[in-house]
Structures are given as structure tokens and as C-alpha cells.
Amino acid sequence: MSAGAAPITVPPIDLDAAITASFWGRAIRDTFRNVGACIGLVWIVLLIIVAVLTPLLANTEPLIVKVNGKISWPMLRYLTPTDVILFILAAAVLIAAAFRRVSMGRRAMAVGAVLLITIPLAYIFVHPPVTVDWQEYRDLARAGRIQYELMAPLPYSANDYQRDDPSQVLQPPSRAHPLGTEANGGDVLSRMIHATRIALSIGLVSTGIAVIIGVAIGGLMGYFVGRIDILGMRLIEIFEAIPTLFLLITFVAFFGRSLMLIMVIIGLTTWTLEARFIRAEFLRLRKQDFVQAAIAGGLPLRSILFRHLLPNGIAPILVTSSFSIASAILLETYLSFLGLGPVDAPSWGQMLNQLLGVAGTFVWWIAIYPGLAIFLTVFAYNLLGEALRDALDPKLSR
């Protein structure tokens, strides 16, 4: 032993914090060490940006226009409540992300509070005109009465159908229409940009519903084994036995075709996978010592379920929900493709519908671009799911 050895000091470690931080830290690090997951995330972030900025990217109404010496802001006048809510939400998230020193939970709560205040206010105060004259500024420009105007990069809204102008219908990609136009004279790129909102929201909302139902039922089954488990298993079997697409079109046939309804229905019909996973996790966890100790210690049921079991059993749900989002987007695409999707909303699948059947004409720009967008989005979520699964459960990554 050398005489000059300094006394070793062990800094006190907050063991609990170290363990939890390292689990999620490791999971996130391992996930994004995977190239595929990074590509998937980049695509999804891009979609989110596009979805938030939709009215600024593709809009028939100019942002600023000067007619006969008067300056006006038509784009602002035509903003919908959804646009406003998304803008404010995005701003809130960005501001919250800047405050690094405040804890994650508080920042999330602040964003949630902003959202809760914004939604009613936006619906009370924002009233875009019901009927839109798409030709208004186009005619003015043609008449040469516009002194100055600032347009969006793509000067066509999604529902700006120029049916009456034969030179605008089913045009191949050109400088004016980068991805061509569809059968009603709408701009394909603009419709694709507006459809990102539906794709993202369908995935998130329906999977959220599926996760809530699945965790509730699966968790109860896994914790109270026995009769409840058997009953729940029969319920899962019933829902798995009905082919999802058949159940969906049945729902749509009987209840109509609104976007919210379709989201809810997809959630209601796809919760079984989540339930199975959470049940398996809870079955495994409830035999472990810390849960047995919690039960023996007489902790209330809600503490056992929500503080001991749920945080430890939620990880596999992350993986499943990533795949569920992908399949929800696919289901919406299929519905829209069959002509049973949300009414009057631009969606990727609905454009493919134009190519269907005897009446449809095959034009390659409608076939390729919206399909590619669906494929890339589904692929991105699947890549994320694969990477998450490999990171969370090294046993499975073979």
C-alpha cells in the first residue's frame, strides 16, 4: 500500500433516483442509438411541424394583401379555432421546453392548463366565415387591382376545388402544383398537408382511448385474478373474434362518419392488445416482493395499483401503443379509401379512393404521393416501436 493514497470518499448516491433515471435514460438512449428510430422520429416531428403550420404553408387566402391602398389580413380572418388552438399549444410547448430548470411534471401541467383555457376561448371568439370565396383574391389579382400581396408558399387551400376550370383538373405535377391536382381540381400537395392533422390526431386519440380502456381492463384482470380474469378474457376474445375492419364499417354504417366518432370507434375496437400486455405485466408483478410487501403493509388499493404496479408495468404499453398508432392510421386510411371516412375532410386514403373502380382513372401522382405519405408515417411508427421494444426488453431483440 502506498503511503500517499488519498482517503476514498464515496459521494452519497440517491439510489432510488439513480435507478429510475437510469432505466428511462437507458431506454431513451438505446432507442435513439437505432438509426431507424431516429429516421422515424425525424419524420414524425416533421409531420407535427407541418400539421401545426398548415394554414401558413398551404392557403388560398393571402397573408397580407393591399387592395386599392387598403391593407388587410385575409389569412387571419379565415383561421379556424383548431388552427388557433394548435398555434397556442405549440407556442406553449416551446416556451415550456425553454424552462429547463422547472420539473417536467410542472411544465406538463402548465401546458395542460394553457390548453384547457385556450380550447373554450378559441371556440367562443374565433369565427371564420362559413362560406369562402376562393376566387376573391385570384379575380382581384387577375384584374390587376392588387398592389401588394404576401401568399403562403403553396397558394391553394385543401378544399379549394377548381372544378370549373378544366385546365386545373387532374393536372400532372408542374410548377404551380408541385404534386399535381386531383379529380376535383384540388391541389394534391395542399390536401396532403391538410391531411397530416387527421393522420396524427387519429393515431394519437384512438390509441389514447385504446390504452385507457386496455390498461383499466387488463390491469383489473391482472391484479384480481380468478373470476374477473376469466370474464375479461372472454371479453377480449369476443372483441378479437370480430374482424376489426368489419366491426368498423358496421359502426360507420349505423352511426355515421364524423371524425371524432371514427377516432372513438377505432379506440373502442383495438384495446385488446394493450389489455393483454398489461394483464401479463400485472400478473408477473403482483407476485414480486415489493408488491407483496405493499399488500402486507396494508396500503390502500389505489396506492398498490397506481403507485406500485402501474409505473412498473407501463413500459410494454409504450411499445404496443407505437404499433397501435400505426395500425390506427392504417384503419383510417382503409375507411377513407372505401369512401367511408370522415366527411369532407382531406385525408390521404380518400385521395387513393379516386383511383378505385371502373369510374376511377389511374393517374400516377395521386397514386404515389398520398400512398407514400401513409407508408412513411406507418413505417416511422413501426420503426419507433421496434427500437423501443429492443431497448425496453433486450430479451426480445434477436
Partner 1 sequence: MGAYILRRLLLMFPTLIGVTLVTFLVMICSPGGLRSVIVSHEGLMDPRQRAAVEKYYSKKYGLDKPLPVQYLLWLNKVSFVGVKDAGAGWPASWRFGFKPVDLGESIVHHRPVLDMVEEALPITLLLNGITFPIMMGISLWTGIKAAQHRGGVGDVVGGSLFLGLWSIPQVWAGVLLVGYLANRNFLHWFPASGLHDLRDEEMNFLPARLVVGFHCGWLLDTCWHLVLPVVCFMYAGFAFSSKLTRTATLENMAADFVRTARAKGVSERQVLYRHVLRNSLLPLITYSATIIPGLIGGAIIVESIFGIPGMGKLGVDAVFDKDKEMVLSTTLVATVLTLVSYLLGDIAYAIADPRVSFEAEGT
**Rule CB under 8 A: which residues touch partner 1?**
36, 234-235, 237-247, 249-256, 326, 330, 333-334, 337-340, 349, 352, 355-358, 362, 364, 367-368, 371-372, 374-375, 378-379, 382-383, 386, 398
Least Cβ distance, residue 20 to partner 1 (angstroms): 31
Is residue 285 within 8 A of residue 313, CB to CB? The reply is yes
Closest to partner 1 by CB, 83 vs 386, is 386
> From CA 251, how far away is CA 24, in angstroms rounded?
39
For residue 158, report the phi and psi dihedrals to the nearest 5 degrees: -65, -40
The least distance separating partner 1 from the CB of residue 265, rounded to whole angstroms, comes to 10
The answer to whether 260 and 201 have CB atoms below 8 angstroms apart is no
State the DSSP string of 212-251.
Answer: HHHHHHHHHHHHSTTHHHHHHHHHHHHHHHS-HHHHHHHH
Is the CB of 24 or the CB of 255 nearer to partner 1? 255
CA distance 177 to 186: 9
Instruction: Provide the 10 A C-beta neighbour count for residue 226.
Output: 8
- Residue 65's φ and ψ, nearest 5 degrees, are -140, 140
Minimum CB separation of residue 353 from partner 1 in Å reads 8
Nearer to partner 1, 111 or 235 (CB): 235
**CB 248, min distance to partner 1, A:** 9
Residues 203/261, Cβ–Cβ less than 8 Å: no
Nearer to partner 1, 137 or 323 (CB): 323
* Closest to partner 1 by CB, 224 or 239: 239
Q: How far is CA 257 from CA 91, 184, 250, 265, in A?
A: 32, 21, 11, 11
Place of cell 379509401: 337
Helices (H), ranges, the chain: 15-33, 35-57, 74-77, 81-98, 104-125, 136-142, 188-223, 227-241, 244-255, 259-269, 272-285, 289-296, 301-303, 310-313, 315-337, 348-353, 364-392
Complex with partner 1: residue 149 or 229, whichever CB lies closer: 229
User: Which CB, 157 or 354, lies closer to partner 1?
Assistant: 354
Smallest distance from the beta carbon of 256 to partner 1, in angstroms?
A: 8
CA distance 188 to 366: 7
- Of the two residues 125 and 362, which places its CB atom closer to partner 1 in the complex? 362
- Smallest distance, Å, CB 224 to partner 1? 16
Phi/psi of residue 101, nearest 5 degrees: -85, -20
Residues in the chain: 398
Residue 119 vs 247, nearer CB to partner 1: 247
Task: Give the nearest distance from C-beta 150 to partner 1 in angstroms.
Answer: 36
Residue 230 Cβ vs partner 1, minimum distance, rounded to whole Å: 10
Task: Supply the minimum distance, in Å, between the C-beta of residue 383 and partner 1.
Answer: 7
Burial class of residue 331 (count of CB atoms within 10 Å of its CB; 0-12, 13-18, 19+): buried
